Amino acid sequence: MRLLLTSLAILFSSAAPAQNGKALHDAACLECHASLGGGDPYQLYQRDDRKVRSLQDLESRLQHCMRAADVSWDRDQQKAVVNYLNSRFYRF
């Protein structure tokens, strides 16, 4: 029992928000974006005429797309995904 609890503690402590952003994003968001981006899920974030122009845009787009993806992330999870997308693609 103690071993199980220790393993669980390790499992959850490694799921800190910052590292979580990519995993959350990839599980919920890749598939639909890939179908829109001609097979490349990241094309939407990198195209010349991308829609998101500020951090606020990114946060509000996330709200819409969370509905499209049928997920309900809490504040920390949303922040982790915004941080991931911003640091990898947008850089506001």
The nearer residue to ligand HEC, 7 or 53, going by C-beta atoms, is 53
Return the residue of 42, 66, 77, 83 that touches ligand HEC, per CB under 6 A: 66
**73, 63 contact by CB (below 8 A):** no
**Dihedral-angle region of residue 21 (phi above 0 means left; psi in -120 to 50 means alpha; beta otherwise):** alpha
CA–CA separation, 66 and 73 (whole Å): 8
CA–CA separation, 35 and 68 (whole Å): 14
Is residue 71 within the footprint of ligand HEC (CB under 6 A)?
Answer: yes
Is residue 80 within the footprint of ligand HEC (CB under 6 A)?
Answer: no
Give the binding-site size for ligand HEC (rule: CB under 6 A): 21
**Could you tell me which of 22, 30, 14, 27 has the C-alpha nearest to residue 82?**
22
Is residue 61 within the footprint of ligand HEC (CB under 6 A)?
Answer: yes
CB of 22 to ligand HEC, least distance (A): 11
Residues binding ligand HEC (CB under 6 A): 25, 28-29, 32-33, 36, 44-45, 50-52, 58, 61-62, 65-66, 68-69, 71, 81, 85
